[in-house]
């Protein structure tokens, strides 16, 4: 694929990786910044770095902080006491152990995710991962293996990259943790989840994932943290969890960039 067919962020990354030696990368970055000036992913205001938001757009983000449900990571309006679970966690216990997300889904988060997934802005994974690392600090033990939610090969060819893998890759760089993108595969192509009801989302991904046939040896008993961009109903990460459990995995947590919080904004 020629450079003209690539997105702005991908051009920078590809050029620095393939054309420039280590000693020239800084100079190359300066030249590329002149050709493709860094802009805010939210409002396209000029910035110093391409993996950031301007102050006004950053202020629109809503971090998820304590008090929250210890299982699903849903924020509570007030402190419910130690061990208190959300109604959702009680009514429908998930197959994974814990879920955490950096941000509550809203308009600015939707813009960031859209730019990351469809707007050829893979460098935004660095910003997202920095926020995720803070939100997931209790999940990211030294022996944790990061497992990105996989795309079907056909969709991966169409998109050219998997945003969940980019997030996991940046988290691995920040934390020094191991990443294994082959521990689970999407062996059946599914419809996009956008616009589907909760039940339809569950049916859509049922049986879509399969664990690596040598998972026990490959994993070596280490805990897993599944990495995804947005947790809406949890149908996808639950299906991934069940596939990994069938393959012999033990402890599994989930870390996403954002999650839908009922009463905040409409789900994607």
* Residue 10 near residue 32 (C-beta atoms within 8 A): no
**Residue 180, CB-side half-sphere exposure with 13 Å CA sphere:** 20
Q: Helices 124-135 and 163-175 sit at what angle, rounded to 10 degrees?
A: 60
* Residue 251 near residue 224 (C-beta atoms within 8 A): yes
* Residue 12 near residue 50 (C-beta atoms within 8 A): yes
Q: Given a cut of 70, is residue 1 above it in pLDDT?
A: no
- β-sheet with 178-179: strand ranges across: 98-104, 252-259, 224-231, 145-148, 178-179
Amino acid 173: pLDDT: 96
pLDDT tens sequence across 59-69: 999 999 999 99
Q: Which residue has the higher pLDDT, 188 or 226?
A: 226
Which parts of the chain fold into alpha helices (H)?
Answer: 8-18, 25-35, 55-58, 87-91, 107-118, 124-135, 153-159, 163-175, 198-205, 215-219, 235-247
Q: Given a cut of 90, is residue 165 above it in pLDDT?
A: yes
Closest CA to 266 of 149, 109, 132, 115: 109
Query: Between the CA of residue 95 and those of 188, 219, 235, 237, what are the distances in Å?
Result: 21, 19, 11, 9
Structure tokens, 39: 């802009």
* Residue 179 near residue 145 (C-beta atoms within 8 A): yes
pLDDT tens sequence across 22-45: 455 455 444 545 556 888 888 989
Provide the pLDDT confidence category of residue 222 given band limits of 50, 70 and 90: very high
pLDDT tens sequence across 15-24: 444 444 545 5
Average pLDDT, the chain: 85
Q: What is the dihedral of CA 37, 50, 124, 172, to 10 degrees?
A: 140
Provide the pLDDT confidence category of residue 247 given band limits of 50, 70 and 90: very high
Mean pLDDT on 80-103: 95
Amino acid 191: pLDDT: 59
Q: Which of 35-44, 65-74, 220-229 has the lowest mean pLDDT?
A: 35-44
What count of other Cβ atoms lies within 10 Å of the Cβ of residue 98?
19
Provide the pLDDT confidence category of residue 58 given band limits of 50, 70 and 90: very high
Helix (H, G, I), strand (E, B) or coil at 231: strand
Q: Which of 59-73, 101-115, 118-132, 192-206 has the lowest mean pLDDT?
A: 192-206
Q: What are phi and psi of 143, to 5 degrees?
A: -100, 10
Residue 41 CA to residue 244 CA, distance in Å, equals: 35
Residue 201 CA to residue 194 CA, distance in Å, equals: 9
% of the chain exceeding 70 in pLDDT = 81
Mean pLDDT on 205-232: 94
């Amino acid at each position: 694929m020629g450079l003209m067919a690539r997105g702005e962020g991908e051009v920078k990354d590809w050029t620095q990786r393939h054309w420039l030696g280590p000693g020239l990368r800084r100079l190359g970055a300066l030249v590329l910044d002149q050709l493709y000036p860094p802009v805010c992913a939210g409002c396209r205001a000029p910035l110093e770095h391409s993996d950031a938001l301007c102050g006004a757009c950053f202020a629109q983000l809503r971090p998820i902080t304590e008090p929250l449900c210890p299982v699903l990571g849903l924020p509570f309006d007030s402190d419910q006491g130690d061990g208190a679970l959300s109604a959702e966690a009680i009514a429908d216990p998930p197959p994974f152990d814990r879920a955490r997300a950096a941000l509550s889904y809203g308009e600015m988060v939707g813009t960031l995710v859209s730019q990351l997934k469809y707007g050829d802005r893979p460098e935004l994974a660095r910003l997202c991962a920095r926020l995720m690392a803070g939100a997931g600090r209790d999940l990211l033990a030294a022996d944790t293996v990061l497992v990105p939610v996989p795309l079907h090969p056909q969709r991966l060819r169409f998109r050219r990259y998997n945003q969940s893998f980019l997030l996991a890759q940046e988290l691995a760089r920040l934390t020094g943790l191991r990443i294994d993108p082959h521990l689970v595969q999407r062996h059946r192509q599914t419809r996009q989840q956008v616009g589907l009801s909760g039940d339809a989302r569950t049916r859509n991904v049922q049986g879509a994932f399969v664990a690596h046939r040598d998972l026990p040896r490959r994993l070596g008993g280490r805990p897993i943290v599944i990495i995804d961009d947005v947790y809406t109903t949890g149908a996808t990460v639950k299906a991934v969890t069940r596939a990994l459990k069938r393959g012999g995995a033990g402890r599994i947590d989930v870390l996403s960039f954002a999650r839908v919080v009922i009463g905040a904004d409409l789900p994607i």
